[in-house]
């Protein structure tokens, strides 16, 4: 049923992954404190600090696409409430997809840090933590789906 708690968790997974696409993931300030690098799910920008004028930009489309795929898969899994086994399988695939997104985000930020300011580490911000939050919510949703499946099996066994 769509009113179960795992439906709420899956909806929050989708909302969290959509939030990743709209918020910054990683920030870094240059060594002379006059430039800032900002990585989002779609692009990486370098800005001059006092006026925040645009210096350069590169694409990160793959992170945004992976985040939207994970959000879409969470919504599709939410709608598969009648088939709990399929829902579990979709959530496991989604966990892999979100884990890959998280790993790719860390890798890209590490490479950007090496080129921009290797002396200091950048800071992960809201977009990064939304991916972790979505992973945790997905795991909790899987737990409740498994719990429902075991309950249905025990009731079938009693009949």
pLDDT per position as a tens digit, 113-148? 888 888 888 899 999 999 999 999 999 999 999 888
The mean pLDDT of the chain is 89
Residue 1 pLDDT > 60: no
Pseudo-torsion of CA 95, 76, 109, 41, nearest 10°? -170
Structure tokens at 62: 């793959």
Rounded mean pLDDT of 40-66?
87
pLDDT at 88: 92
Contacts of 1 (CB under 8 A, 6+ apart): 7, 81
CATH fold for the domain made of 5-149: Butyryl-CoA Dehydrogenase, subunit A; domain 3 (1.20.140)
pLDDT at 105: 95
pLDDT at 116: 84
- Specify the higher pLDDT residue, 106 or 58: 106
pLDDT at 157: 65
Q: Where are the domains of the chain?
A: 5-149
């Amino acid at each position: 049923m769509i009113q179960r708690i795992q439906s709420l968790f899956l909806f929050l997974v989708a909302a969290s992954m959509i939030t990743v696409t709209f918020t910054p993931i990683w920030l870094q300030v240059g060594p002379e404190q006059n430039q800032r690098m900002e990585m989002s799910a779609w692009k990486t920008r370098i800005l001059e600090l006092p006026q925040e004028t645009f210096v350069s930009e590169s694409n990160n489309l793959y992170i945004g696409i992976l985040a939207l795929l994970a959000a879409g898969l969470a919504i599709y899994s939410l709608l598969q409430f009648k088939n709990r086994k399929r829902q579990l399988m979709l959530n496991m695939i989604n966990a892999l997809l979100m884990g890959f997104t998280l790993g790719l985000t860390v890798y890209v930020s590490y490479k950007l840090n090496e080129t921009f300011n290797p002396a200091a580490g950048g800071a992960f911000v809201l977009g990064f933590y939304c991916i972790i939050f979505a992973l945790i919510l997905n795991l909790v949703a899987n737990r409740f789906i498994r719990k429902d499946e075991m309950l249905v099996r025990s009731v079938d066994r009693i009949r």
